[in-house]
Amino acid sequence: MPQPGGRTLLGGKIHVIKVGTSSLLTNDEVGGQKVSLSNISRLVELIASLRKSGDHVVLVSSGAVGMGCLKLGLSERPTGPGVKQALAAAGQSRLMRLYEDLFAVIGVNVAQLLISRDDFSDKARFLAVRNTFW
């Protein structure tokens, strides 16, 4: 089986798509933030189209902190690391639920893998991550 890195895998290309908070959230009418369903829906349709053509897609998504702010009704994004970690924990479940629901509409199953920079620095951890995909 070919290895990752832009090479063909089981007949298709590998696409890594990174989306950030600014792609997932938009300003609302009163100066706050709301989920940008149109952006996320276009992303879901793009990924479905790539998969339909036989390609493989890895979605790398930020946005947990922003979703946590929405979930907890915060109008401003805190800056402290402990608060941001708590917001990410609160928002991650909402973010995954949103992805899960939208992809389910078009019959695509999703899964979550939480990784950090350290997972790429240590060979054993890197191989464990790689084996999750391939």
Is it the case that residue 8 has pLDDT exceeding 80?
A: no
Q: Decide: 22 and 63 in contact? Cβ < 8 Å.
A: no
Is it the case that residue 3 has pLDDT exceeding 50?
A: no
Q: Decide: 64 and 83 in contact? Cβ < 8 Å.
A: no
The whole-number pLDDT of residue 20 equals 93
Closest CA relative to residue 66, chosen from 53, 75, 57: 75
Q: For 57-111, write each residue's pLDDT tens digit.
A: 999 999 999 999 999 999 888 889 899 999 999 999 999 999 999 999 999 999 9
Q: Decide: 30 and 37 in contact? Cβ < 8 Å.
A: no
Question: Residue 9 — very low, low, confident or very high, per pLDDT cuts 50/70/90?
Answer: low
pTM value is: 0.82
